[in-house]
Structure 1
């Protein structure tokens, strides 16, 4: 999901079709709203987003339909830029804790919700 989001962020495209392959519900809405906001402000996302996801829990344990994934995302080189190529702000990226709920539905596994903490949280 994050790779697809980063790709969509390069043009701030809230309608990037691949987002639906990895996200659903609140997660998809959050990603699209974020991208739409960047587009409205003339901003783009650039750089590399480094993730290292791991399964935190799964339920039910015998045949999981919901999995919680924990990560310590590194956004040091994944920043917001203005249309003129300059950084949009002076907020540095960094390592931040993230937690996502992934559900199995008719279309397969999709991220249903996620939360990302402030820089330095992991």
Structure 2
């Protein structure tokens, strides 16, 4: 999911990605709203994100099975660009370059884990 997520943010659009394969409709809708905002503002992302995911909770016996994954995201090589000028837009001064993102997941009938909620807590450093 991370690779597809990054690809979407590089284009400010989910078109041409497989995000729907990895994200439940509500989670995908939230990402698409963010991408639409970016597209309207004419900004996109460039570079790479680092990831250090850790499973913090699992309910294997639940129906459906659920899990929570916390990821320490390294955004030090991830830049916001103005798509009109190509200029880099600096991140907010109070935003750390490493922050926590949390994914809530469910394992459906197809035996595939799907992200049902995804939230980046950018003020929370890791």
Any residues of structure 2 matched to 1:18-97 within 5 Å, and which? 18-60=18-60, 65-83=65-83, 84-91=85-92, 94-97=97-100
Post-superposition offset of 1:32: 0.9
Gaps in structure 1 of 5+ consecutive residues: none
Identify if the C-alpha distance between structure 1 residues 54 and 85 changes in structure 2 by more than 3 Å, giving closer, same or farther.
same
Stretch moving more, 44-53 or 5-14: 5-14
Q: 1:29-74 deviations in whole A, cap 9, x for unaligned? A: 1111111111111111111011111111100359971011011111
Judge conservation of contact 1:45–1:80 (CA < 8 Å) in 2: yes
Distance 1:97 1:55 in 2: 13
Distance 1:106 1:63 in 2: 10
Identify if the C-alpha distance between structure 1 residues 42 and 13 changes in structure 2 by more than 3 Å, giving closer, same or farther.
same
Identify if the C-alpha distance between structure 1 residues 105 and 94 changes in structure 2 by more than 3 Å, giving closer, same or farther.
same
Q: 1:5-24 deviations in whole A, cap 9, x for unaligned? A: 11122211133441111111
Specify which of 100, 105, 109 is matched with residue 106 of structure 1: 109
| Secondary structure at the counterpart of residue 106 of structure 1 | coil
> Structure 1 segments of 4 or more deviating over 4 A?
61-64
TM-score, with length taken from structure 2: 0.83
Stretch moving more, 91-100 or 18-27: 91-100
Post-superposition offset of 1:106: 3.5
Name the count of aligned residue pairs.
122
Gaps in structure 2 of 5+ consecutive residues: none
Q: What value does the CA root-mean-square deviation take over the aligned residues?
A: 2.2
Identify if the C-alpha distance between structure 1 residues 93 and 40 changes in structure 2 by more than 3 Å, giving closer, same or farther.
farther
